[in-house]
Structure 1
């Protein structure tokens, strides 16, 4: 936090500073800049629903401060360079507040917001505690979206994971370089000019290696981020490799200023700082950070922060503003404020039934976040931080840390807090296992049709008694059809020629064959998740009628022989390869989908349609003389602005309505197409899903949707009698 982070011996008269250098000063204005950066993050999250660039400034400042502190220690010849002390100090600084927030969020979700008790969110608790949340989100493909009920309350902790990984890497890097460059002959007080010269030589060697290393990492990581911006922005946003350049740029800038800082006229310093602050504040108004950062436009806020650093602590009104008590207080509370604001925002939208936060709610969220940030900083961060001096080279590092934890002032408080953190961490790390056990217990569990008749209430007139709708909303998204749970569904990133033959997630000795596995005749399901969610009734038919059921399934790939807007090009090649499998299996009937929603087109429209690629697939089936059943896709849940939502997890029933005229065309567009095929059969259940105006959210005490566009396995199973009657007509 010093303007110049050079350290000199207190026992030998230091060399005169460079003529253009400024004396070391604490940079109160940079504390304020950190506060302003986090204030921008909070304000834009709450009121604008965009990424402000404040996190990017915060990352640069984290690199500037942290690497500077590590460097200062490394060039002090009397202090230990054992990395444990720095790791322990960092843990005490960061982990207690993080554990407190995660525990508060977990308890609130468990007892007050059950729809957020999902497996993904339980995994994110673990990922946040263990500092790999950024990669957990990247693998899940989570967009860093505006706050609404569909967003994770822990999504913002990706940046804490990036910083935690960076801190550990920086500690180990500087330890290694220090070990290679430090003189072993200097242990105690410096008593001679010769020893002082050896100290200067050691410092020079460390800086000569560290500074180029930081610039190399900065350039390499920046190049990777700029490249990945156009290739995979989702991964780019969360990846530590893409973010390292922001942190290392701050560290390199701080290290460069240890050698020479030009003395600027006051007007020039003020001009630089004014330009820098303007760049920082304007970022959120000019750029959508989720779509642009950490790509090339990240330079906009980072250059702004760098200009403020270079301008120095005497940059007129800008420095006075940044060093003011309100700005510095925000800087002191910045970490806790960042931790609290996002989960409070997300949980509040759920508790109050708002789709997105209103201005009044957002203002209340900010006020509560500031209060909790102040209390967390005062009663958690400060008391539990490591305040004692680093051990010398001859002191035992680990035992020193433990001893000072037990014998320092407020030792009982610190020991108790450490114990509570440990207990809370263990409890939170078990959440994922508990949730997984609940899911496993629900999979395959048959609902009593007397209480949960599902679609039979509409098709066969069954009565619907009073009962709590099933399945439980907090696990509904994770109750996938059997092939997905078995691992018989190829995932998007897998090679195009991947066709799963054995149940890789459950019993690898079993083949991915369902129905009557001893049957002599075969049925085939082909496509993506929208044919897969019809697995339960098709499987029931196969079992009852002596058919083997083979699944040719790939995530995100309907059966198509021509490109479709919104569908990966890989799906055409995959379908061609799947046709070869169909030829080998020689099935009695092939099941696929017949329509897609129009809102996924580049120029979105309401209703559904039959893509040309589907028709070409129908033609291929017809040419082979293979009977096929094409099922009209279920209505998707989206509003008049084409925003998808999950009807099941809506808190306000008014937000849960799926309008038929938006989701489905007035008539089934596949009916006329399929009339021309001798071997093609149309199957349309839309009049069961919807009445004349709306599509149902709950039918026969069973939730219809497990997300915005897939039906639940439990509801699908109740279609079995209907499907069997229709197939008997087709196959008779």
Structure 2
């Protein structure tokens, strides 16, 4: 983020300077660049109120990230920074354009490089080494690639892509994630000067040169015209950006939050204030005072009433951005406003001077401290972590920011300033890439574990000689007992086996093809394509229906379908249980209309196709942010009605109970505890809701369906191990691996047979 409080553009800067006679032919030959008109500056060129405003912005962000109660909207401090940067940079560029007729890009970019890149490089490299020392090995590659993207100032788009990936949506935040806002501003710095130069060039190219008295009038008009066209261009960019923001906040929240096209309007508001500042100077002092108080009130309101559940940016971002613009406008007057006097207090100005380094340091300190202590931090510990970040920020400002920013040799030579920025970027990029490549690959180094094979017992031979299969309930019990024995043998403190399947490094990608071929519908997808597997021409259809927790059983059911000559039709949508519950998507920040439409389409298909068996699966991790809670009364009632409806349509119904909740990203946890897998295994009371399962069993049975309590396939009476035999049970923090789902194929087949058997 741009942190320099540069000269404010005021009415004085619009007054024409003394007209120079046209240069002689000799002057034109010997002068590289026209001598600039001396810019007329405000007598109060340094905006101390903006320095204090930066202090408020960084305090809001830092205290929000520290979890201080009552500041649920502190993230709006970033929006305040955007408006400030738009104001300062546009004002700086306009003064240069007005004085020289162009923008000296090398000098501009060299100043930005000296100001921003050395400190960013120091923090980025320190964070990379901190990650190597403190984070689980399995997280390191992704985290370090986050750092590499941030070093190239494209990290915001990497975070946007990760945020739209359902399977990565619940991943822990990266210690480099705060660099996203710096990426947005660097991209703005890259594009905005070029746009201003292009606007000025087009206007001057179209204008006919004049001389004499009329030439003075023409010059003055062209100068006003350039400013106006720059303002119109900025307004058009801002409007298009705001419309893009509104559209993506509804449908693609991560892109709305992280990308320049959806944040440019905030920078544009600051730029518009800079280009019109000379007009604000003429406002009455009382009006400016009122604007200043109103601006501070809007910023405070945003910090207090917004929170992480607010769809953002969207219209909610108008609160801090308009508020910041009003505060800046109030400081454009001939005397300092009341709000400006508050902002100019020494404490806020000191915080403002420290804001850039503090912003860089606070997030990695808060993210890595829990990893160092191997536990979550309490509020007092988070405040201590912030204090540590303040100390690091002060050292960085004193020994990195100031020496590089104010070095006379670097200020005099744009090439040297750019070289400093290039070296800093190269160091940061090479450090993260080398550490990512050279970092350890997590593998199990315990003794090889036996594989788990679950098979139906041989049929008994009655006296008549005909083979008799066990009764459905008996077969389920026999197969469950085999799995329970393997689970019990795997409980306790054991190292991760060397033959773990899948390997820890491969676990994240160990998912059924239906998750990648469009069968499992993502948030915004509508409809449900044909997704038949098994014997696709069979006249016997089994439907696997639900959210991603239904789809994770597809590998087992596909094997069963092949064996039984069934057509298996998979119908699934992420975070969308089939029950008729009003649903809000916390990922989209709005009513999940796509889920509601998908449910209607799927139910219509099930009524029309009447599959022999419908297997229902769904997560039980839905909380109040979805508009309902797993296992509550509405959940039980709608589940019973759904089963009854499917039974009335002629289908047998099997409802799969929940898998235990491991409460961690299991492969990552195991990579941090390779000698003790039980450190990642939750206790049964923590992982399993026995009362909820009992209520679901009653609701399903009362409606004529069959319920499969799967707890014994995962847990002993005390613990739910995350490795059974040599099988890794979970690929993330809630989905099964393909291997373990296939291991349980015989049990799922027996459960299906029991559901199909006459009552």
TM-score normalised by length of structure 1: 0.74
1:337 paired to 2:342: no
1:526 to 541, 545, 558: 545
Query: In 1, are the aligned partners of 2:501 and 2:728 still within 8 Å (CA)?
Result: yes
Structure 1 regions of 5+ residues with no counterpart?
393-399, 407-413, 502-511, 639-644
Q: In structure 2, what is the Cα distance between the partners aligned to 1:244 and 1:100?
A: 27
> In the TM superposition, what are the counterparts of 1:486-565 in structure 2 within 5 Å?
486-493=516-523, 495-499=525-529, 513=533, 523-542=542-561, 549-560=568-579, 562-563=580-581, 565=583
The structure-2 alpha-carbon separation of the partners of 1:566 and 1:37, relative to structure 1 and needing over 3 Å to count, comes to: closer
Structure 2 regions of 5+ residues with no counterpart?
1-5, 21-35, 455-479, 586-591, 674-678
Equivalent residue, structure 1, for 2:617: 593
Equivalent residue, structure 1, for 2:59: 39
Equivalent residue, structure 2, for 1:422: 426
Q: Helix, strand or coil: the match of 2:99?
A: coil
The structure-2 alpha-carbon separation of the partners of 1:269 and 1:546, relative to structure 1 and needing over 3 Å to count, comes to: closer
Q: Which moved more, 1:214-223 or 1:172-181?
A: 214-223
Equivalent residue, structure 1, for 2:30: none
The structure-2 alpha-carbon separation of the partners of 1:723 and 1:85, relative to structure 1 and needing over 3 Å to count, comes to: same
Equivalent residue, structure 2, for 1:396: none
TM-score normalised by length of structure 2: 0.72
1:466 to 479, 491, 494: 494
Query: What's the Cα RMSD here?
Result: 5.2
Equivalent residue, structure 2, for 1:70: 93
Q: In structure 1, what is the Cα distance between the partners aligned to 2:294 and 2:610?
A: 71
Q: In structure 1, what is the Cα distance between the partners aligned to 2:107 and 2:530?
A: 49
Query: In 1, are the aligned partners of 2:295 and 2:323 still within 8 Å (CA)?
Result: yes
2:232 to 212, 220, 236: 212
Equivalent residue, structure 1, for 2:265: 245
Q: Which moved more, 1:481-490 or 1:330-339?
A: 481-490
Cα deviations by residue, 1:446-497 (Å, 9 ceiling, x for unpaired): x965178999662457633832276799868724422245424333245423
Equivalent residue, structure 2, for 1:482: 512
> In the TM superposition, what are the counterparts of 1:99-138 in structure 2 within 5 Å?
99-114=121-136, 117=139, 121=143, 124-138=146-160
1:574 paired to 2:598: yes
Q: In structure 2, what is the Cα distance between the partners aligned to 1:291 and 1:675?
A: 40
Equivalent residue, structure 1, for 2:375: 354
How far residue 123 of structure 1 moved from its aligned partner, in angstroms, is 5.7
Cα deviations by residue, 1:54-107 (Å, 9 ceiling, x for unpaired): 2222111111101111111211236x5365664565455434433443333333
The structure-2 alpha-carbon separation of the partners of 1:375 and 1:495, relative to structure 1 and needing over 3 Å to count, comes to: same
Query: In 2, are the aligned partners of 1:467 and 1:701 still within 8 Å (CA)?
Result: no
Equivalent residue, structure 1, for 2:397: 377
- How many residues matched? 679
Q: Helix, strand or coil: the match of 2:8?
A: coil
The structure-2 alpha-carbon separation of the partners of 1:663 and 1:578, relative to structure 1 and needing over 3 Å to count, comes to: same
Query: In 2, are the aligned partners of 1:648 and 1:656 still within 8 Å (CA)?
Result: no
1:262 paired to 2:282: yes
The structure-2 alpha-carbon separation of the partners of 1:28 and 1:390, relative to structure 1 and needing over 3 Å to count, comes to: same
Query: In 2, are the aligned partners of 1:64 and 1:252 still within 8 Å (CA)?
Result: yes
1:659 paired to 2:685: yes
Q: In structure 2, what is the Cα distance between the partners aligned to 1:657 and 1:462?
A: 13
Q: Helix, strand or coil: the match of 1:659?
A: helix
Query: In 2, are the aligned partners of 1:214 and 1:248 still within 8 Å (CA)?
Result: yes
Equivalent residue, structure 1, for 2:3: none
1:722 to 739, 747, 756: 747
2:187 to 156, 165, 179: 165
Q: Helix, strand or coil: the match of 2:100?
A: coil
Q: In structure 1, what is the Cα distance between the partners aligned to 2:309 and 2:131?
A: 26
The structure-2 alpha-carbon separation of the partners of 1:382 and 1:570, relative to structure 1 and needing over 3 Å to count, comes to: same
